[in-house]
Structure 1
């Protein structure tokens, strides 16, 4: 048979020598291999060999099934690439970069090697976006990515971490070599001439380096060190490379001293607005199932600041918990009665630090009891990172909220599917997809497949899926076709203050 069928393991791999794979005792044998055509073409195939036997067990032959899986394997390869690479620059993305870093850290103790981690942050990039437009900014990022790649070794890993920030892993590299490699890159970016529509734009970059060895191999520590060193470069005039030193921690702390005071004031004394966005089924968009609440705060200069941006700047656990308690206090003081009166359900944000705090959880349950609000009307949005930590205090907080009747939404579900290894059936009620995953779902087949996979995992665990913001009917139609349970965005309703929503004529059946 193999004189007729030329089958190999991979396009250029060894030929299949035994159609039975050398073991005919098994009930079925399956291989994923390549079939070569007589005209020189190839097909990815899946083949299975199943023995045929008589009623008394004597073998009388085999059934061979060959299936063309070229397109499906191509799709899987594209999906795998999309999950680990930045769509704009085609560099590794943050998830892939962090996974590479973790693998490197795990081997440090065994190999006794030294590695370097570099943070690269572009200078004056925002000016290009503001003056020439986002198309120019995107083109510049692509050009600089190619420039940096051309200056690296084949074993080095360059990633776009987000915006104009890049991460660089230099395996088996001492500090002097890392300084030389990083210096060449920074010098090249500082001298780069970017032309757009006849206008010259000059940018620059700053870099921070930290050394990874047996005594410094904690992921959170080395990433923080590289970030601190990069800030030191910016503080020293930009366009330079700085190697991390412990005394820089103090300088980094001083950088945020004023902002800490401002953050504390905004949490403690400032007006806090709860903004509501309706969540509805894409198949029945006229009927909101519940309302997602987010915060809007104001700086001392009177500038509005959205919750996500404000929370990303909070580093002190005490401030993070203080914000949770302020939100809870504001909600139960000013809005809980209106929510109960109308019978609508709302979802409040709750940080990992708040979830792990016995005081915060106790306060939530006490206020829930005192207000007479049914627990089923109160949802909490919890970051997926909290579940990755597997801390007992976080598990206790989840259990207590569930016992009180509250519903839970796990947010920031993106391309890293590792989170589903930490979710147990019925642990939460919903998963909330990252906006980045659904922004182009109606125009990108890989994104559509990724959303389909996430939705399938959620249903397998007994949870419903939420996606958004959907600002175009095509997005809503695509998500509906995939089977996403709920969406939010302008196609459902405009964001509005919670107080305004509670004072309209809308009501729910309690």
Structure 2
């Protein structure tokens, strides 16, 4: 209400400037009308009191009313141009002076002239004033503050005069009439303001819509279309026709589907989207975003159509109306994004996502037609060495060459893709001929194993393949991929360069590995691991030299588990470091209680030696146990030296500097490079049991290797230990060949800790052969 009266501007988002301008303009438009009303009203009052009041008084009052009326009218007309579009709060407030001035001059009539009036003159005066007040409350309601001031002043004077001349009751009635006019003026003023505010909002909205329509017209992105009840084009929109490249008049009356089908209308070879559109038109149901191909000047474009049925007032169907958009560019962008999401950026081959989708389709088709499909996993052999030695750019170019060779091997029945890294995959849609699929696997291995010329480098790599047939080896794409992956692991474990088909046993082994890995993770905490100690004796006298600590695992449910199973599993699962530390700590604590100088030998995994903190752990284990470093012997294999650029050599040197002895285990079974012996200070070489058994059978090669190793060790100041001696004849042969130490079942099986402790504390002069 205060905002309406012009007392303050509300702190909302509405712009009151145009609204107040409308108030001022309404007052300006009726300024002359109100001036005429004042002049006519004053003239009627003069005539009404001409016989009762002196003429000079009436003339003076009439002149005053005319002067004030003229002044008010000119004031309102003077601000018309300034307040045409916007007006301030002060402009509206200033009109209160107009109302007060007019009310004051008009109140003279009842107060001054009413006292001398008879009943007829008084009635005439009150009728004239009532009409003037009523007219003002309606005509000048746009400026409610000024009008209310006019009504209050004049109505109050009129009520006072009536109360004094006639009765207070009639004065109260006059005052009530004045209040009703005030309320009426306020209500009408509010209605006018609301109407103007809505007009302003609609104008702004129309302007916004016009801008949007203009923008659509400029971009020519959308158009309207309309059909009659027979689905013929009617009132063809010019932009719709231009988009088709035809004259609007030429397509009026043509079937809508014929216009969209173009050349395909005669052949009947319609796109699926057009068939869906025809079905919606036939059923007279609304549709949205139907995508159809349209040929414009021989070029394929893609349109998106939306439409709704139209009905007349009687409910009869009269056709369709809708909008269309050319979404060719958006579709091309979507296709490009989809390709980027489904194709490998380096090789251009389908990536893992598309391979999975293709395999799912192949599985569905195989299930539908009761046939078979196949899936191959391909892993490159020795590819990591190329990346490590020549760098990733060369590796990337090599992968591109690999993909080119694979593409040449594929037929329409096959899909080749890159899963990532150096892994590829092949989906064979129809694998009814299993022999042909296996020939393809062998061909892939042979082709990929041929040398490559990349950046003046001749590179040799190989490939391993895992093969699985669906649905035999998996009812879903995920299961089939897993089966092929298991077969690939079998190929890699066999040395690479091979292919293996999935067998159910592979899944059993994988599940067993999974269960064992879970159990192995809690083996230390659950006290399931323990050590056995196998004696190592002097070859000539049989005197006890020490023990080799052998790890064993007894599971409460699965029973004893072979180290051949759980040690490789521990290495793959990155558990070997924690287990190895437990073994070393436990062996050192036990050996510290044996008679000096009996030693303890502990096998160390390459993963432990590649850890830069391993030397510090060895030192801590020796300190905590109190074992002298010379009584600890660590056994390592040649695989420690196969990884270049690691800290293994530095770790071994740090351990040797403590006084710990070092033994090279399983010498002769690996690469057996003599360079390994020069890399660090070994104290002994262990000869694998396979050579001992071969020598006992008279194999010349095994005997020659043992002699060569013994001679090499003697020249380097190293001892030799023969493993796996199980008979007296083998013992004599090994002794004759010059081996320094011997271990095997002939001298003693791996012993529990109590038996090993009892044996170690006996007189060192007693021979082990006599007590075994």
TM-score by length of 2: 0.35
1:497 aligns with 2:752: yes
Distance in 1, Cα, partners of 2:447 & 2:628:
51
Once the two structures are superposed, residues 246-272 of structure 1 have per-residue CA deviations (whole angstroms, 9 ceiling, x without a partner) of: xxxx99988844332122122442332
> What's 2:580 paired with?
324
- Alpha-carbon distance, 1:461 to partner: 3.2
Which of residues 680, 689, 701 in structure 2 aligns to 1:435?
689
Change (3 A) 1:416 1:232: closer
Once the two structures are superposed, residues 195-242 of structure 1 have per-residue CA deviations (whole angstroms, 9 ceiling, x without a partner) of: xxxxxxxxxxxxx99954769x897x956979995733899xxxx965
Distance in 1, Cα, partners of 2:463 & 2:714:
37
> What's 1:314 paired with?
570
Contact 1:268 1:326 survives alignment (8 Å):
no
> What's 1:487 paired with?
742
Contact 1:209 1:242 survives alignment (8 Å):
no
- Alpha-carbon distance, 1:508 to partner: 4.4
Contact 1:415 1:450 survives alignment (8 Å):
no
> What's 2:546 paired with?
290
1:420 aligns with 2:674: yes
> What's 1:91 paired with?
none
Change (3 A) 1:469 1:343: same
Which of residues 645, 659, 663 in structure 2 aligns to 1:409?
663
Change (3 A) 1:336 1:454: closer
Structure with larger RCO (C-alpha < 8 A, sep 6+): 1
1:473 aligns with 2:713: no
- Alpha-carbon distance, 1:408 to partner: 0.9
Once the two structures are superposed, residues 176-210 of structure 1 have per-residue CA deviations (whole angstroms, 9 ceiling, x without a partner) of: 9xx96994799xxxxxxxxxxxxxxxxxxxxx999
Residue-pair matches, total: 314
Change (3 A) 1:113 1:470: same
Once the two structures are superposed, residues 138-191 of structure 1 have per-residue CA deviations (whole angstroms, 9 ceiling, x without a partner) of: xxxxxxxxxxxxxxxxxxxxxxxxxxxxxxxxxxxx999xx96994799xxxxx
How do 1:88-487 and structure 2 match up within 5 A? 183=438, 211-212=448-449, 229=484, 231-232=486-487, 256-284=513-541, 286-316=542-572, 318-333=574-589, 335-339=590-594, 341-416=595-670, 418-424=672-678, 427-443=681-697, 444-487=699-742
Distance in 1, Cα, partners of 2:749 & 2:648:
33
- Alpha-carbon distance, 1:310 to partner: 2.2
Contact 1:442 1:478 survives alignment (8 Å):
yes
Contact 2:614 2:651 survives alignment (8 Å):
no
Once the two structures are superposed, residues 378-417 of structure 1 have per-residue CA deviations (whole angstroms, 9 ceiling, x without a partner) of: 1111122112324441012101110111111111212445
Once the two structures are superposed, residues 431-461 of structure 1 have per-residue CA deviations (whole angstroms, 9 ceiling, x without a partner) of: 1122222222122222111222222333333
Contact 2:652 2:680 survives alignment (8 Å):
no
- Alpha-carbon distance, 1:425 to partner: 6.9
Contact 1:388 1:422 survives alignment (8 Å):
no
Distance in 1, Cα, partners of 2:508 & 2:534:
40
Change (3 A) 1:422 1:294: same
Secondary structure, aligned partner of 1:405: coil
Secondary structure, aligned partner of 2:736: helix
Distance in 2, Cα, partners of 1:225 & 1:255:
20
Secondary structure, aligned partner of 1:428: coil
Secondary structure, aligned partner of 1:412: strand
Once the two structures are superposed, residues 43-87 of structure 1 have per-residue CA deviations (whole angstroms, 9 ceiling, x without a partner) of: xxxxxxxxxxxxxxxxxxxxxxxxxxxxxxxxxxxxxxxxxxxxx
- Alpha-carbon distance, 1:421 to partner: 2.2
- Alpha-carbon distance, 1:298 to partner: 1.3
Secondary structure, aligned partner of 2:712: helix
- Alpha-carbon distance, 1:376 to partner: 0.5
- Alpha-carbon distance, 1:351 to partner: 0.7
Change (3 A) 1:253 1:491: closer
Change (3 A) 1:440 1:508: same
Change (3 A) 1:323 1:450: same
Higher gyration radius (CA): 2
Contact 1:455 1:465 survives alignment (8 Å):
yes
TM-score by length of 1: 0.52
Distance in 2, Cα, partners of 1:102 & 1:453:
32
Which has more helix, going by share of residues? Answer: 2
Change (3 A) 1:430 1:441: same
Contact 2:653 2:680 survives alignment (8 Å):
no
Distance in 2, Cα, partners of 1:327 & 1:102:
34
- Alpha-carbon distance, 1:470 to partner: 0.5
Contact 1:277 1:488 survives alignment (8 Å):
yes
Distance in 2, Cα, partners of 1:224 & 1:338:
53
Contact 1:354 1:361 survives alignment (8 Å):
no
